[in-house]
Structure formats: structure tokens, C-alpha cells
Amino acid sequence: MVTIFNRKELYITFSMEEQSSIRQILSQSNINYYVRTINRMSPSFLGSSRGRRGSFGQNMNLNYEYIFYVHKKDYDTAKYIINK
């Protein structure tokens, strides 16, 4: 089980296709992982300029950030597998 106390950041991407591919690779290799998805267009508690500007001029491919975490003991294996 991957928790905040035993995890290590493996990979960060903005691409839906890339995150899907990494999920598939890790699953096929029986490596437990956790993916944190961040919506970069959502308003923050400190305030957001999106409400004033809208989304005009924003690259829509960068709306979501996917951060992969694996257990510390699986990090080296997972890094090797996704970089093949």
C-alpha cells in the first residue's frame, strides 16, 4: 500500500495518453502506485485569476497535472520499467 509516509514521486506529466500508458505499465508489472490529479484551472483558496480572465489564451492540454507515486522500495524498478 502506498501512503504519504512510504511513497516516492516517480513521474509527472500533463498528457492523458502518457499517464494512461504509465498506469498500464505499472499495473502489468504488479507495482502499486498512487496518482494525484491536479486541475490547474480550478480556483484556489488564495484566489484565482481565471475568474477575471476566463480561459482565453490558455493551453487546454495543460489543464490537468498527473503525479505518480510508488512505494520507496519499488522506485528503482518502476523507474527502470517506465524508461525502457
Model confidence at 84, pLDDT cuts 50, 70, 90, reads confident
CATH superfamily of 7-42+60-83: Hypothetical protein rpa1041 (3.30.70.1530)
User: Is the full-model pTM beyond 0.95?
Assistant: no
For 11, 25, 30, 33, 51, the CA distances from 83, given in Å and listed in that order, are: 10, 10, 16, 16, 39
Residue bearing the bigger pLDDT, 9 or 57: 9
Instruction: Locate the domains of the chain by residue range.
Output: 7-42+60-83
Long-range CB contacts (within 8 A, 24+) of 24-29 = 25/81, 25/82, 26/68, 26/70, 26/78, 26/81, 26/82, 29/77, 29/78, 29/81
